[in-house]
Amino acid sequence: MSFLRTILAAGLTISASAAAAQTAGPNDGRLLASNCMQCHATNGQPRPGFSSLAGKSASEITGEMLEMARMTPGKEPEKDLMAVHARAYTRAEIDLIAKYLASK
């Protein structure tokens, strides 16, 4: 019986740790969004050929990233790079990125 209690206690500890790790703080999107800033810039002046994210809402950014993630590579070659980036994130990470970028 004590072996079962040890297993149960270990499982509860792991579950509690995972839940705590998923709690988002106000700047959690900052690190993830740093990848976006390589092309879209931090001051609203993107590199030539890239759109500005300045003034966009979190829902606009989320929508655009989800749209890019659904794209078929090669259909619009100018968007392939963004499609690959968007696919690399989970929905939760996209939400964090969008909230962070919209707050700037």
- What pLDDT score was predicted for residue 6? 42
Write the DSSP assignment of 7-19 as a string of letters.
HHHHHHHHHHHHH
Whether the pLDDT of residue 5 is over 50: the answer is no
Domain-wise residue ranges, the chain: 28-102
Rounded to whole angstroms, the Cα distance separating 49 from 64 reads 16
More confident residue, 67 or 74: 67
CATH architecture designation of domain 28-102: Orthogonal Bundle (1.10)
**At 50, which helix (H) or strand (E)?**
none
> pTM value?
0.69
- What pLDDT score was predicted for residue 16? 41
Q: Tens digit of pLDDT for each residue in 15-73? A: 443 444 455 565 688 899 988 888 888 766 788 888 888 889 999 999 999 999 998 87
- What pLDDT score was predicted for residue 92? 96
